[in-house]
Amino acid sequence: MSGEQSIVHVDSIERSIVKIRGQRVLLDADLAILYGVETRTLIQAIKRNSARFPEDFMFQLNQEEFAHLRSQAVTSSKWGGRRYLPYAFTEQGVAMLSSVLRSPSAIQVNIEIMRAFVQMRQMLASHSQMSRRLDAMEKNYDAQFKSVFDTINQLIAPSEPKQRRIGFHTKTECNNTP
């Protein structure tokens, strides 16, 4: 950043990002806190500009999603007393908010939110790449160690006891018995 002080930290934004309907989103209440406005003020601004927010940019949670979200939250006080289900904003929806909320602080917050989404994507890509490498190594070493484990299992397996012949035996047969 060119000497500017960040209003919010990427870490606090990343903690607010949740996965709903297979997408990483920020909820209206969390965005309102980040932008320093009331949730109803944020929603009013969005409703005045509803054409800018198609369903792949913003959607309203259903009752089941909201109940699940509340059960997952450590504290649900920030969602207590709501009269409507929260709205969820995808990365594109958050980007569109910059055209609706035009204050200098809103612009700065938007930049930090975009950075958080980018950082999260990079971290997830790195994680999946590492996971693929570990899987490949595991397959490679499994094949190499299989022969070692087979040999060890043969060594520790009890040997078959010598079978004694049934019946009457002469002394010479008893001494020659394998």
pLDDT tens readout for residues 140-162: 766 666 676 677 777 776 666 66
Which of the pair, 122 or 57, is modelled with greater confidence?
57
Q: Categorize the per-residue pLDDT at 81 as very low, low, confident or very high, splitting at 50, 70 and 90.
A: low
Q: How far is CA 170 from CA 162, 163, 167, 178, in A?
A: 19, 17, 10, 14
Per-residue model confidence (pLDDT) at position 3: 43
Mean per-residue pLDDT over the chain, rounded: 76
107, two tokens:
């612009």
pTM: 0.57
Q: CA 34 to CA 39: how far, in whole Å? A: 10
Q: How far is CA 79 from CA 25, 67, 71, 97, in A?
A: 16, 11, 11, 21
- 98-132 pLDDT, tens digit per residue, is 778 767 777 677 777 777 777 777 777 777 777 67
10-130: CATH architecture: Roll (3.10)
Residue 92 has pLDDT above 60, yes or no: yes
Q: Are 90 and 49 in contact (CB under 8 A)?
A: no
Lowest mean pLDDT among 5-14, 33-42, 47-56, 124-133: 5-14
Going 72 to 13 to 11 to 130, the CA torsion angle's sign is positive
